[in-house]
A and B are shown apart, each in its own frame.
Chain A
Amino acid sequence: MVNLRAFSLIIFFVLYSLLIPTDSWAAVKFVSAKENYVFYCVSCHGPKGLGDGINATKTQPVTPRNHTDAIKMERISDEELLSVIKDGGRALGKSTMMPSFSSTLTEVEILALKDYLRELCKCVGK
């Protein structure tokens, strides 16, 4: 009986893999928080999260957040961090220079990115 179950599961996965186009695998490919940070955040927040990315020019009205600043980062709750990543700076009444990533990143990626920010600041939220 157990063998039959295992056999049917194997058949199911083989058929599933044959039916799903290869593109779909790429679409669900796991992208780590660090990869997303490097790709989307570093241009403003800098390679080490110090807020010194190439977009942080003198002409900008605001300075990007230093993600390693534990004192300032621990004042922000996890929920607030998630809101800012999803809906941009305006979610906390901050600058709209921080864009919304809700259409760019998945929920799982946003959660992972929040955890990565906590790693950078070595702090926990209020």
Chain B
Amino acid sequence: MKQNKLLIIFSFIFCLLLFGLSDALAKSSPAGKSIFKTKGCSSCHRRKGPSVDKEFSDLQKKKGPDLWFAGSKFKAGFLATWLANPVPIRPMKFYSLREESVRDHPKLEKEDAVSVAKFLMTLKSKKVKLGVVKAKKSASGRIIFEKKQGCYGCHKFKKGRNVIGGLSGPTLIGVGSRLNPDWIYAFLKNPKDFHPVGAMPIYKGILSEADMLTLSRYLATFK
């Protein structure tokens, strides 16, 4: 009788452990991590941070963006869709001022795209507080974006039916479904936490934190 009790207790503990392990495995997505490795994604993207870039030349050697904070930067769902149908986010090749982007990013099968996206979404930065910044269209956001700072000097976006703006930065078309506004806010406040070297001017000390928040909310409404 006593042995049966012990057996039940051990079985129960074993089940709990197994359940916990399977949950942890699902969250960390070992399949996605394995695909990330076998497909050679690391040859263009860093999955471990923080960034070690120190000079302009470090940036110019890179072929693709760092992904060590992808889980904080991107919206859930975006990466899986994008990896299955990769359309360039930057009009120009990564940090190139000469070559236009072409659709040359490897395309993943839907199932693999979901696994890799799941893995990438586990790569988070402690510098981003999640769930704080919510999308909000506002006149003040538009004024900061279009008038106070000429953000579209480098980034294209949709103004009404027209697409206007520069080409050196990533497109802002579809930002609302691509970027996590919490990350936009964290990036505007302290860009060096993510990119110690970057071509975008630093707005810390130029825009107030309140303006950065308004701008992040406004950008999150971009379709």
Residues of A within 8 A of B (CB): 23, 26, 29, 31, 35, 38-40, 42-44, 47, 53-57, 59-60, 89, 95-104
Is B149 touching A99 in the complex (CB atoms < 8 A)?
A: yes
Contact A103/B166 with A44-B153, A60-B153, A96-B148 known, Cβ cut-off 8 Å: no
Segment touching A, from B18-26, B120-128, B157-165? B157-165
Residues of B within 8 A of A (CB): 54-56, 92, 97, 147-150, 152-154, 156, 162-168, 199, 201-206
Contact A99/B153 with A47-B97, A59-B165, A104-B202 known, Cβ cut-off 8 Å: yes
CA A93 to CA B153, docked complex, whole Å: 17
Contact A60/B202 with A47-B97, A54-B97, A55-B154 known, Cβ cut-off 8 Å: no
Determine which of A26, A40, A42 lies in contact with B201 in the assembled complex, contact meaning CB atoms within 8 Å: A40
Determine which of B55, B149, B166 lies in contact with A60 in the assembled complex, contact meaning CB atoms within 8 Å: B166
CA A23 to CA B206, docked complex, whole Å: 26
Is B153 touching A97 in the complex (CB atoms < 8 A)?
A: yes
CA A26 to CA B55, docked complex, whole Å: 8
Q: Which residues of A contact B163 (CB under 8 A)?
A: 59
In the complex, what's the smallest C-beta–C-beta distance from B187 to chain A, in angstroms?
14
13 A-B pairs in the complex with CB atoms less than 8 angstroms apart: A26-B55, A43-B168, A44-B153, A47-B97, A53-B97, A54-B167, A56-B166, A57-B166, A59-B165, A60-B164, A99-B149, A99-B201, A103-B204
Q: Which residues of A contact B154 (CB under 8 A)?
A: 43-44, 55
Is B206 touching A55 in the complex (CB atoms < 8 A)?
A: no
Contact A29/B55 with A40-B201, A96-B148 known, Cβ cut-off 8 Å: yes
CA A56 to CA B165, docked complex, whole Å: 9
Is A102 touching B206 in the complex (CB atoms < 8 A)?
A: yes
Q: Which residues of B contact A53 (CB under 8 A)?
A: 97, 168
Is A100 touching B97 in the complex (CB atoms < 8 A)?
A: no
A23-B54, A55-B153, A55-B168 known; 4 new pairs, CB 8 Å cut-off, are: A43-B97, A60-B152, A96-B150, A97-B150
